[in-house]
Amino acid sequence: MFRIHCPHCQEVRSEEEFSYAGEAHIPRPADPSSLSDAEWGEYLHTRTNPRGPHREMWVHTAGCRRYFNVLRDTVSYEILAVYRVGEMPPERGEA
């Protein structure tokens, strides 16, 4: 039961207000038609799935309904950073 800081609401709220939205930083290919089936399949389905820090998207479903990125350790479940869509994760530490 995580406590998540919503960077839009600037509040720490309970996990139940949020929804997980998958791995972050998987941009949709600019020109899908130029990709091979394998490349397109990779975009669709392949995921990093790390054991440790994971860059992922969450959405504040029962709050501001906005998406944001989270750097979370998938073993300790510690949230290492929260940052906005379009940004890259800060160096470790800021939450």
- Name the site residues for another protein (rule: CB under 8 A): 1-3, 14-16, 19-23, 27-28, 32-33, 35-38, 40-42, 44-51, 54, 56-57, 59, 61, 65-67, 72, 74-77, 85-86
- Give me the residue label for tokens 């609401």: 9
- Minimum separation from the CB atom of position 79 to another protein (A): 8
Q: Are 60 and 11 in contact (CB under 8 A)?
A: no
- Minimum separation from the CB atom of position 65 to another protein (A): 6
Round to whole Å and give the CA distance between 1 and 77: 10
- Residue number with CB closer to another protein (67 or 89): 67
User: Nearest CA to 92 among 55, 60, 67, 66?
Assistant: 55
